[in-house]
Amino acid sequence: DTEVTQTPKHLVMGMTNKKSLKCEQHMGHRAMYWYKQKAKKPPELMFVYSYEKLSINESVPSRFSPECPNSSLLNLHLHALQPEDSALYLCASSQDGTDDTQYFGPGTRLTVL
Amino acid sequence: AQKVTQAQTEISVVEKEDVTLDCVYETRDTTYYLFWYKQPPSGELVFLIRRNSFDEQNEISGRYSWNFQKSTSSFNFTITASQVVDSAVYFCALTRGSTLGRLYFGRGTQLTVWP
């Protein structure tokens, strides 16, 4: 059983909508990650939070806005997305964000119409 | 620069066959970590194994085994007596020692096990 949960599992939104993806981990980890994965491709790193501070932003467009309210929660706010943003969005967590193992959630399948 | 190569894009086997998934990596670091993840059709990446660069011992876990060879920069994964439930995309990945957040993934190998 995964200890990283993500909601919703599926999301369909229009280009003018505002929505949020949520991620929660119950392992006491201090690092959390957002990845984007297109079909038949490996996951691409978007953001890393370490001890609730944004540590890495992989030049992600501003229509994606991450938020880490506390060490267990990670949100990804979406606004004015494009159809090419349709993908599987994966959240992961790890002990402290250095060379430790990342554990992934089940993902949110996002479709932008 | 870090790079992970999984040359096999797709593999198909029949149940009970053994199958080996290849992974070759490139790094100039002396300390690094190698991983294998499984991604079934549901989408979640399931962690399988982590190996550090100083530990070349092979590992066996049930039907799974891993062969780490620094001399050839390879970290291959063998499934013995494959089952239909093994059908998934398998990713090999590398992270540098003490470097925040960076998992360098290979392109993945789609394994299909037919009954």
B108/A105 CB distance under 8 A: no
Contact state of B47 with A98 under an 8 Å Cβ cutoff: no
* pLDDT recorded at residue B7: 96
Nearest by CB to residue A48, choosing from B37, B50, B100, is B100
CA distances from A46 to A41, A57, A95 (A): 15, 6, 18
Tell me which of A99, A100, A108 to substitute to probe the interface with B (most B C-beta atoms closer than 10 Å).
A99
d(CA A108, CA A78): 13
Distance, in Å, from the CA atom of A29 to the CA atom of A94, rounded to the nearest integer, reads 5
Residues 6+ apart with CB under 8 A from A62: none
Q: What is the count of residue pairs from A and B with beta carbons less than 8 Å apart?
A: 62
Question: What are the tokens at B22?
Answer: 């290849």
Q: Across chain A, what does the average pLDDT equal?
A: 93
Bridge partner residues of A103 (DSSP): A93
Assess B30–A contact: CB distance below 8 Å, yes or no: no
pLDDT tens sequence for chain B (115 residues): 889 999 999 999 999 999 999 999 999 988 899 999 999 998 999 999 999 999 888 888 999 999 999 999 999 999 999 999 999 999 999 998 766 668 999 999 999 999 9
Q: What's the pLDDT score for residue A2?
A: 58
